[in-house]
Structure 1
Amino acid sequence: MRLLIFILTSLLFFSCKNENSKYVDAQDIEKEVFVSTHLIPDTHFLGDEVCASCHKEQFKDWKGSHHDKAMDIAIDATVLGNFNNIMFKSQDITSRFFKKNGSFYVNTEGRDGEYYDYKIEYTFGVEPLQQYIVKFPDGHYQCLRTAWDTEKNKWFDLYPDFKVLHSEWLHWSRGGLNWNTMCADCHSTNVRKAYNLDKHSYNTKYALINVSCEACHGPGKSHIERVNTLGENYTFGGDIKMTFTTTPKALVDQCARCHVRREQFSEFYNFEGTFLDHYFPQLITKGIYYPDGQILDEVYVYGSFLQSKMYQNNVTCTNCHNAHSLKLKFQGNKLCAQCHDTKVYDAPSHHFHKVSTEASQCINCHMTGKFYMGNDYRRDHSFRIPRPDLSLKYGTPNACTQCHTDKDDEWAWENYKKTHGTPKQKHFSELLAPGITGDSHGFQKLLELSKDTIYPEIARASAVRAMSNYMDENAVNNMLAFLNDDSPIVRGATIDALNTVNSTDYARYVMPLLKDEKRTVRVKAFMAIAGLNEMQIPKAYKDVYKKVNKEFETHLEVTSDFTGGLAKKALYFVKKGDDLNAIKWYEKALEIDNMDNMIRTNLASLYYKNNDFTKAEAAFKTIITQEPEFAQTYYSYGLLLAEQNRVEEAIKQMNLAIKYMPQNIRFYYNLSLLYDKVNKLKQAEQVATKGLKLDANNESLLYVLAYIYQKQGDVGKAKNSAMKLVQLYPNNKQYQRFYKQLSTQ
């Protein structure tokens, strides 16, 4: 059975590439690491009232804003929900909201499935919903699943159609709604998570409870000292962040850390370096975004805004939003008219709708959105032109049919062509969507997108990452050039893609990125060469290797309360050849989320590799119970059974794999071989033929079909299949010999 985890093992010799400005020497990295791990004392954050003494207008705008109300102590003045002994029932769980001794409480289901009274410690947010936070004895602060709708003035379930058991990670009392790790970093100022892995407990601290002035502008201590010392001679000297001198893209970078779905790399944020020294953004991938880059799951704003022409042309957050109140600077199309000619764009000749109607609003065609958390409508910030033609090809949404719900995409596309013609410029999504959806010609389109720097860097990075769907020697050789790309997001994505290759041939290309200027790229590079031991590291990299190792350990530690973080630690040990430690950390990850079956699949593979067949089979059966339509599990389980010579059972599992994923060619190949193994040649032939209907030139299926025809004595059909192989692969001597052998029969 093939191990489902890809392992990068040792490489003895390396070739170095030319150094350039993207790489720094070991001394610089030592300095950077020291700065990046420096904790800012809470005493350096002076509080909003100190700021208000000089910045009255800004403070007035900020007061009462979403940042101000990001989190607060639960008292009469801050709690908006009805706690007058109100009962609320959803998914068979009845919660009662009440007051006792001047405090706010909820009686609801706890971690063990029993009901308890929980005191509300904090409010979370202000509109369109307010959540409430409960404290557990182990330092876990948990956000209730039931929230208060501040517009309709009623309690509601954040996920009304999704039943969650008390034992699952998504239960309100567990990881999915844990404040310490899912919320705190962006809702308070100077947060230190302080997670204890052994005890699965937190000692989280912050300087200020909400998103204060200093959450964005940095600690005020040195700023106040300079103001007091210099008086009227004061000028900006780096003592505060996000000023009028901050460039547009730098401002987006600084706002991004709290307006993005991302992975964390530093222990805490300390205003040093850039976004990519602390976090790496979620790229455009299946299930998170639509294949064309539109928002699907909860990704916030940064990932979509980076796709936009606005960002490419130095439009920044504060061009549309008041930096302190967070409100839009103008209402209606006047906001867009700051840059766009109203005579051209705010006219029926452009939008083909009645003037001053909802349909004529720019944002309703170019900033569609989705509801998250039940009632929170968030707009897509990629500012795209509606593309019904892509909807027809890839099932992506478009503004036309989202509004005209009684019409279909065919109608939308025909009307689009009548009013606007066909799109005159190629959008990156035309190249990205085929690769993400697995189109047979997707790789070449991904390569075109990745190479062309006219497209947004997040789109190019997503294209490189999606190339891992087409991994072969040609694909990998094309990808290597992107390790030297000017964009650090592209470099990081390339490492992630190469990290899925079970080969040691590429480590020498990754090695120089240990000296990359961005910490996230360095850490990814370290993970990619984790199969090497220190003796195999060239002398020129030994010092930097040790320093990046510390950054990597910090990354593992700060993500150790996520299943993904523990899974990465397990994969690190797999690369090291330490399967027992890998098994330990995969098992630890499942203690946090027993429903994470990607992790369980990897664990089952390790069990099997280490001859623990009983645990491997039990793991596969658990996955099938929890996700009965997940085809890959039946395939993997079938391979396990086959190697134990339980062929009839393996055939049953492989048939189920095809049932739930009929387009996967590999399933047909393996099932055909299994039928052959028990001498059911006619079934083997039928399965191989069926697979070839999906891919007429599939090398593996052509070969197995020729072999089966030969075994059945049908030499003519066997020769036809073998001849096709020779024609498709004229340099393959094995196929030539096979054809000659058949020709003599």
Structure 2
Amino acid sequence: MGKRTAMAFVGAALWLAGAWGALAGDEVCRTCHQAEHAAWSLSDHARAMAAASEASVLGDFSGVTVSHHGASATFRRSGDGFEVSISEGGDAETYPVAYTFGHAPLQQYLVETERGKYQVLPFAWDSRPAADGGQHWFPNYPAENVVPGDRLHWKAPLQNWNGMCADCHSTGLTRRYDPSADRFATHYDSVNVSCSSCHAGAARHAEARLKGGAEDGWKDDLMAYLRQDGGFVRAEGEATAHWSGKAPRLRPEIEVCASCHSLRAPLTDGIDPGEKFLDQFLPSLLDDPLYFPDGQIREEVYVWGSFLQSRMYGAGVSCLDCHDSHSMKLKVQGNGLCTQCHASDIFDTPDHHHHTPTAKGSQCVDCHMPARTYMVVDPRRDHSFKVPRPDMAARTGSPDPCTTCHLDRKPAWAAEVIARWFPERTPRDSYAVTIHQARQGDPAAREGLARLIGDDNQPEIVRATALSLVPQVADPALVRLAIGALSGDKPLMRIGAVRGLAMLPVADRQPYVAPLLDDPLRAIRVEAARSLLDAPEIDLTRRALTELMAADEGSSWRGEGRVNLARHYLVRHDYDVMEAEYRQALTIDPGFAPARINLAEFMRQTGRQGESHALLVAAAGGPGPVDPEIRHALGLSFVRQGNLATALGHLKAATDAAPRNARYAYVYLVALNSSGATVLGQLKEAIAAHPYDENLLRFGLSAAMKAGDKAYARDMTDRLRVINPAGSQRP
């Protein structure tokens, strides 16, 4: 695939479960729930992870060797077990295979590289049938040469299962990471995703029943949901079903499923299905580059953020309306799944889909749930159930399912065809244009963002995303909307509003954000605490601040967590510990550029210019590609040394490697101008690529005036007035 974010990262470190873990396991539940257990035993959950054995290992371990960019692996049997020998240009290292991870359409394998730390191998087994292209080993990143020190290297933290994915592939898992020793003591109750992963209190229930209790008072929200008095009904002649029933539609399973089927940052160690999702995780919104501007999935985001956008979610549809609660398989195959609620004589006909029945394009999912492939061979379907909008593709860069299938056609063709098929339909306004404009910093997005934020008919996650984009195109009116959303009753919007106020100086936003330090939900308390960590006279002992630090400590097995911890010590003026955290980040995650850049800047500000420069030079001399952040920082360091010629090389390399970064372009052109070169031509190209960047526009105005280009100077002046008409963004 070639994208550095396209592969899921896996690995694990596990200790044996105790007696209560066994009690919560599936075997105890099977005693009374045999049908449910039989369905579960065939599910992906049951095969999420297993000890490596004849029964669980699917790959070819007959001594086969596979290679990729100088790295090779030999897979062989070792007695009753399995092992792999890996060479990366030197002597081979041999590891016993400890666990299998997943089973279809691929299977990965975990090995212990240090005590208690398990990593995923750099090659995976394609478990699809040979007729479908499977039954072979393949590199996790086929388009890239991943060398030691790269963040995607198989021994790096991002390939560590303890931190990245452990809690979602085993039951009752706690990472138990010790930041001081950089060691995991991870524990699970069941090796796979078992009953207690979804059913809160299952262990207590089982214990009471095993002791002969007729009724243990167990209350499980999922069971309450399944037994509720109500359902979807569709009257004769009605196109789409609606909810009808006495009991409210609680949909607790969406939060339970979201614990794993969402892109989120953990706030606690382990998952409790009885606790609220936002008390355990801080989810991503519809951020770039995770989602396309229209909300379609782009990177691997695990369903929840996609589904929350859908009209089905708004109507009360939940995961278990389509998926069996134990096998997780679709309840009905093909279009029959959709026609449970949508009339087949209206929607499952050529008059609607305009394709030959049974051919590609006639299935509902072809148009309304387009798939993207992750992990090389694993297609995942978009769950936002959007109506195809090829008219939006050219305007926003979002894909459309028509031209994804008809590769020889353009979106304009597809838009014309759909307009001809459905002449009576007027396409509703799409928020894709507003989101796209805001991401570009286009002031034209202001009105659209205001509409999205205030529109109760739009999905909450879309409105929250609009709030988070306020800094991109901010004006006082949008800032006031963000302030108003802080006290609203929609939690995702409160998260988006905190992010939207990040543009204000911390002292200015503190009075508005501070009340959220006592929000009922941990995710919002933590978001507010991070926003105010360096606020004047902030009480670092408040619950929200201690929760934030605990979350950062829990993620400090990777560079991001260590850098976040360093910020805690910065505001405490404990500079020795802060520097130690930066250095530890470089030890455990050497490819994480912000840790090196922050440490170099701290050194520079404390009079250690030589150490600072050497730290950046060392990063630029590695065997793999150099992060553009490092190139940019090193260029600035050479500027400070007066070595402009060398600086220009690094600054240009950063600009070329990250063409979407307007600041890199601005700094490079300023440096180039300082060398005496004429830059107006290149500046015009940069402004064309970044038409709303205020720094570039001001530089363009200055350069145009110096060159006597009055027309371009007027153009720059007009653009600047539009971008910042008031000269201030405070409310």
Give your verdict on TM over 0.5: yes
Check the 8 A contact 1:570/1:583 in 2, yes or no: yes
**Pair 1:703–1:301, CA change in 2 (3 A):** closer
Within 5 Å, which residues of 2 pair with 1:98-497?
98-109=76-87, 114-151=91-128, 152-227=134-209, 237-238=219-220, 243-244=225-226, 247-421=249-423, 423-471=426-474, 475-497=478-500
Task: Give the residue type in structure 2 aligned to 1:468.
Answer: P
Give the one of 551, 555, 563 matched to 1:559: 555
**Pair 1:600–1:461, CA change in 2 (3 A):** farther
Give the count of matched residue pairs.
683
TM-score, normalised via structure 2 length? 0.83
Structure 1: gaps (5+ residues): 1-38, 733-745
In the alignment, is residue 590 of structure 1 matched against residue 567 of structure 2? no
CA distance in 1, matches of 2:638, 2:63: 57
Task: Give the residue type in structure 2 aligned to 1:69.
Answer: R
Structure 2: gaps (5+ residues): 1-16, 129-133, 229-248
Check the 8 A contact 1:705/1:721 in 2, yes or no: no
Deviation track 1:123-174 (CA, whole Å, cap 9, x = no partner) reads 2222212222212342111222222222233222232222211343322233
Report what 1:739 is aligned to: none
Check the 8 A contact 2:704/2:712 in 1, yes or no: yes
CA distance in 1, matches of 2:73, 2:445: 50
Check the 8 A contact 1:676/1:684 in 2, yes or no: yes
Deviation track 1:199-227 (CA, whole Å, cap 9, x = no partner) reads 32211111111111122113433213555
CA distance in 1, matches of 2:325, 2:278: 23
More deviation, 428-437/346-355: 428-437
Deviation track 1:522-559 (CA, whole Å, cap 9, x = no partner) reads 122122222247xx35xxxx6x9532333223212211
Deviation track 1:445-487 (CA, whole Å, cap 9, x = no partner) reads 2332222222112222222222233356665444222222322
Check the 8 A contact 1:372/1:378 in 2, yes or no: yes
CA distance in 2, matches of 1:266, 1:330: 37
CA distance in 2, matches of 1:410, 1:451: 31
Deviation track 1:575-609 (CA, whole Å, cap 9, x = no partner) reads 45555544432332232322222444444443433
SS at match of 2:97: strand
Per-residue deviation at 1:413? 2.1
Task: Give the residue type in structure 2 aligned to 1:206.
Answer: Y
Deviation track 1:362-402 (CA, whole Å, cap 9, x = no partner) reads 00111111221121111111111122122111222111111
Per-residue deviation at 1:106? 1.5
More deviation, 585-594/258-267: 585-594
TM-score, normalised via structure 1 length? 0.81
Report what 1:27 is aligned to: none
Check the 8 A contact 2:50/2:56 in 1, yes or no: yes
More deviation, 687-696/477-486: 687-696
CA distance in 2, matches of 1:119, 1:730: 65
CA distance in 1, matches of 2:604, 2:541: 33
Per-residue deviation at 1:68? 1.1
Check the 8 A contact 1:45/1:219 in 2, yes or no: no
**Pair 1:580–1:359, CA change in 2 (3 A):** same
Task: Give the residue type in structure 1 aligned to 2:44.
Answer: H
Check the 8 A contact 1:434/1:445 in 2, yes or no: no
Per-residue deviation at 1:506? 0.9
CA distance in 1, matches of 2:721, 2:434: 30
More deviation, 323-332/613-622: 613-622
SS at match of 2:585: helix
SS at match of 1:512: helix
Check the 8 A contact 1:458/1:490 in 2, yes or no: yes
**Pair 1:73–1:119, CA change in 2 (3 A):** same
Report what 2:568 is aligned to: 572
CA distance in 1, matches of 2:668, 2:221: 66
Deviation track 1:63-83 (CA, whole Å, cap 9, x = no partner) reads 132111111122212222222
SS at match of 2:73: strand
SS at match of 2:93: strand
Paired-residue identity, %:
31
Check the 8 A contact 1:44/1:220 in 2, yes or no: no
More deviation, 179-188/478-487: 478-487
Report what 1:90 is aligned to: 68
Give the one of 48, 67, 71 matched to 1:70: 48
SS at match of 2:66: strand
Q: Report 1 or 2 for greater relative contact order, CA contacts < 8 Å, sequence distance ≥ 6.
A: 1
Deviation track 1:41-99 (CA, whole Å, cap 9, x = no partner) reads 84584321221121111111111321111111222122222222222233333322221
CA distance in 2, matches of 1:526, 1:104: 47
Check the 8 A contact 2:23/2:207 in 1, yes or no: no
Report what 1:28 is aligned to: none
More deviation, 292-301/274-283: 292-301
Check the 8 A contact 1:631/1:656 in 2, yes or no: yes
